[in-house]
Amino acid sequence: MQAILALEDGRVFRGRGYGAPGERLGEVVFNTSISGYQEILTDPSYAGQIVVLTYPHIGNYGTNPLDSESVRPFAEGLVIRELSELASNWRSVEDISAYLAHYGLPAISDIDTRALVRHLRTYGAMRAVLSTVDGDEAMLIEKARAAPSMVGLDLASRVSVSAPYEWSECTSKTLGGGKTDGAPARFHVVAYDYGIKQNILRRLVDVGCRVTVVPAKTSASDALALKPDGIFLSNGPGDPEPLQYAVKTVREMMGRVPIFGICLGHQIVGLALGGKTYKLKFGHHGGNHPVQQTRTGKVEITAHNHNFAIDPDSLRQSEIELTHINLNDNTLEGLRHRSMPLFSVQYHPEASPGPHDSHYHFRDFRKMMEEWKR
- My answer on whether 229 and 247 are in the same domain is yes
Q: Percent of the chain having pLDDT more than 90?
A: 93
Give the number of other CB atoms < 10 A from CB of residue 185: 15
How far is residue 139's CA from residue 7's CA, in Å, rounded to a whole number?
11
My answer on whether 236 and 277 are in the same domain is yes
* Residues with catalytic roles: 263, 348, 350
Cβ contact 361:349 at 8 Å: yes
Asked whether residue 110 falls in the same domain as residue 205, the answer is no
Kindly report which listed range (155-159, 176-180, 214-218) carries the lowest average pLDDT score: 176-180
Q: Is the peptide bond before 349 cis (omega within 30 degrees of 0)?
A: no
What CA dihedral angle connects 157, 161, 167 and 170, to 10 degrees?
-60
Task: Give the C-alpha separation, 213 to 167, whole Å.
Answer: 7
Residues 129 and 182 in one domain: no
At 319-349, the pLDDT tens digits run 999 999 999 999 999 999 999 999 999 999 9
**Do 69 and 186 belong to one domain?**
no
Q: Tell me, what CATH number does 69's domain have?
A: 3.50.30.20
| Residue 76 in domain | yes
Does residue 355 contact residue 301 with C-beta atoms inside 8 Å? yes
Residue 174, pLDDT > 60, answer no
CB 51, CB 41: distance < 8 Å: yes
Q: Which residues pair with 31 in a beta bridge?
A: 53
Helix, strand counts (H, E) of the chain = 10, 19
| Structural domains of the chain, count | 2
* Predicted local distance difference test score (pLDDT) of residue 113: 98
Residues 350 and 203 in one domain: yes
Domain annotation covers residue 248? yes
Quick check: is 46 in a domain?
yes
Question: What is the pLDDT, as a whole number, of residue 295?
Answer: 96
Is residue 105 included in any domain, yes or no?
A: yes
Q: How many CB atoms lie within 10 A of CB 239?
A: 20
Residues 345-361: tens digit of each pLDDT: 999 999 899 899 999 99
Q: How many CB atoms lie within 10 A of CB 72?
A: 12
* Confidence band of 171 (pLDDT split at 50, 70, 90): confident
**CB of 300 within 8 A of CB of 351?**
no
Collapsed DSSP state (helix, strand, coil) of residue 192: strand
**Pair 203, 289 in one domain:** yes
179 and 66 together in one domain: no
CATH number at residue 250: 3.40.50.880
Same domain (yes/no): 291, 337: yes
Minimum mean pLDDT among 111-115, 195-199, 306-310, 349-353: which range? 349-353
Torsion of CA 238, 269, 41, 126, to 10 degrees: 30
Residue 352, amino acid:
S
pLDDT of amino acid 79: 98
Distance in angstroms (rounded) separating the CA atoms of residues 344 and 233 = 9
pLDDT digits (tens, 9 = 90+) for 229-257: 999 999 999 999 999 999 999 999 999 99
Q: How many CB atoms are closer than 10 A to CB 104?
A: 13
Q: Give yes or no for a contact between 189 and 209, defined as CB atoms under 8 angstroms apart.
A: yes
Domain-terminating residue out of 96, 111, 146: 146
Q: How many residues does the chain have?
A: 374
Query: In sequence order, which residues have a C-beta less than 8 Å from that of residue 267 and are 6 or more positions away?
Result: 240, 277, 306, 308, 309, 310, 346
User: What is the C-alpha separation between 70 and 153, in angstroms, rounded?
Assistant: 21
Task: Please state whether beta strands 342-345 and 259-262 pair in parallel, antiparallel, or not at all (unpaired).
Answer: parallel
User: Is 151 part of any domain?
Assistant: no
- The chain-wide mean pLDDT, for the chain, equals 95
User: pLDDT per residue over 251-263, tens digit each?
Assistant: 999 999 999 999 9
**Residue 280 included in any domain:** yes
Q: How far apart (Å, rounded) are the C-alpha atoms in residues 40 and 51?
A: 9
Determine contact, residues 48/238, Cβ cutoff 8 Å: yes
pLDDT at 176 over 50: no
Could you say which of 121, 146, 171 is where a domain stops?
146
Which positions ≥6 away from 48 have C-beta within 8 Å? Answer: 26, 27, 76, 148, 150, 153, 155, 237, 238
pLDDT in tens, 115-144: 999 999 999 999 999 999 999 999 999 999
Which of 125, 146, 167 represents a domain boundary (last residue)?
A: 146
Note whether 288 and 357 are same-domain residues.
yes
Confidence of residue 183 (pLDDT cuts 50, 70, 90): low
Q: What is the pLDDT of residue 249?
A: 98
- Domain with 205, as residue range(s), is 156-373
Mean pLDDT of 149-166: 96
Are 254 and 342 a contacting pair, CB within 8 Å?
A: yes
Residues 19 and 117 in one domain: yes
Residues 55 and 8 in one domain: yes
